Amino acid sequence: GELTMSESMEALMIALYMDQVPDAWAKKAWPSMLPLSGWIKNFSDRLFQIEEWLLNPEEIPKVTWISGLVNPTSFLTAICQVTAQKNQWELDRLVTFTRVTKFMSPDEVDAKPRDGAYITGLKLEGASWEDGSLQKSKPKEMYCEMPIIHVKAVTKEKANVGGMYGCPVYMTGARGKDYYWTAQLKTASPPARWTLAGVALLGET
C-alpha cells in the first residue's frame, strides 16, 4: 500500500539527507552549529560523560568537559554554592575566577583540585594562548585550543585584580544568546585590545 508522507516526515527526510540536525531534534537539544554527523558524535560524548559521572554522582569528575553540559551555568553556580557552604560565606559575595593551567589533556591531571573544578573543551578565537597569557593570533590559525582551566569561587574583592581580560564564553561560534559566562585570562596588553579584537572562548567551533 501507499505510505502518506506528512510534512514533518518530509522535513526529517530532507534534514537527514542534507546532514543537518532536524528542527524537531534541535528544539529539544543544546545550542549547536554542527552538521548531523558531528552532532551525533557530540551527543554520544556527552552521554558518555554523564554515564561516567553517574558511577559516583557525589563527586565531580577529575576534569569536566564543560562544553558537554547542556546547562554549564548551573555547574558554575554549583562551584560557588559548594564554596559558600564549606566556608560559611554568603553566596552573593562570591564569583567564579579562572586560572589557566599547563595541562593540555585530562590524562595529565593526577587529581581534582582542592577547591573548584578543572574544566576542558574551550577554544580561543581572536587570539592565541602562549607562555601563560594572551598573545596575538598566529597566521592561519582561527582557533587556539585552550589548556585545562581551573575554575574556583572567590570573593568579589579578590576577583578584582589587574592584568586580566574578562573573556566572554559562548556555547557556539554564533555567540550572541549563546553567552553564559566570563572567564579571566592573563594579559600583558591592555584588556581593551582584546575587547576590540572580539576575543572570546567558544565551546563549539
Per-residue pLDDT tens for 76-89?
999 999 999 999 99
pLDDT band at residue 2 under the 50/70/90 scheme: low
Q: Which helix (H) or strand (E) holds 135?
A: strand 133-135
Amino acid at the residue 32? S
Give the Cα separation of 123 and 203 in Å (integer): 6
For range 105-119, the mean pLDDT: 94
Question: Over pLDDT 70: what percentage of the chain?
Answer: 99
Region class of 66: left (phi > 0), else alpha (psi between -120 and 50), else beta: alpha
Rg (CA), the chain: 20
Chain centroid, CA 81 distance in Å? 19
CB atoms within 10 A of CB 160: 10
Output phi, psi for 108, to 5 deg: -85, -10
Contact 140, 172 (CB under 8 A): no
Output phi, psi for 153, to 5 deg: -100, 135
Give the Cα separation of 185 and 152 in Å (integer): 14
Average pLDDT, the chain: 94
- Nearest partner of 203 among 122, 105, 120, 104, judged by Cα: 122
* pLDDT score, position 6: 86
> Which pTM value belongs to this model?
0.91
Reply yes or no on whether the pLDDT at 73 is more than 80: yes
pLDDT band at residue 1 under the 50/70/90 scheme: low
Give the Cα separation of 129 and 123 in Å (integer): 10
For range 105-130, the mean pLDDT: 95
Residues 6+ apart with CB under 8 A from 25: none
SS3 27: coil
For range 23-33, the mean pLDDT: 94
